[in-house]
């Protein structure tokens, strides 16, 4: 078992938080990310809407993230 004061524990804890953060970020419905593909697969109507307004959705999420 890892001791909380151990440097390895700190490394793995940081690594885990970064990995979880990247996974959550990847699920955002921004066109180049996987969350965008999941939204498109939900239904045809949602997929068509997202395809039609992809550029506007991308700009919105870019501004939201900044």
pLDDT in tens, the chain (66 residues): 556 668 888 888 899 999 999 999 888 877 778 887 887 787 777 778 777 888 887 788 788 878
Does residue 7 belong to any structural domain of this protein? no
Does residue 37 belong to any structural domain of this protein? yes
Domain residues for 51? 29-66
Does residue 8 belong to any structural domain of this protein? no
Residue 6: which residues within 8 A CB-CB, separation 6 or more? none
Does residue 60 belong to any structural domain of this protein? yes
Q: What's residue 20's pLDDT? A: 96
Does residue 52 belong to any structural domain of this protein? yes
- Tally of domains in the chain: 1
Residue 22 structure tokens = 């990247």
Residue 18's alpha-carbon distances to 3, 22, 23, 35, 61, in angstroms, are 20, 6, 9, 18, 21
Does residue 58 belong to any structural domain of this protein? yes
Q: What's residue 34's pLDDT? A: 84
Does residue 40 belong to any structural domain of this protein? yes
């Amino acid at each position: 078992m890892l001791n909380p004061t151990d440097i390895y524990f700190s490394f793995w804890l940081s690594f885990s938080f970064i990995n979880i953060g990247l996974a959550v970020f990847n699920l955002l419905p921004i066109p180049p990310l996987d969350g965008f593909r999941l939204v498109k697969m939900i239904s045809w109507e949602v997929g068509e809407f997202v395809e039609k307004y992809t550029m506007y959705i991308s700009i919105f999420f870019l501004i939201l993230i900044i």
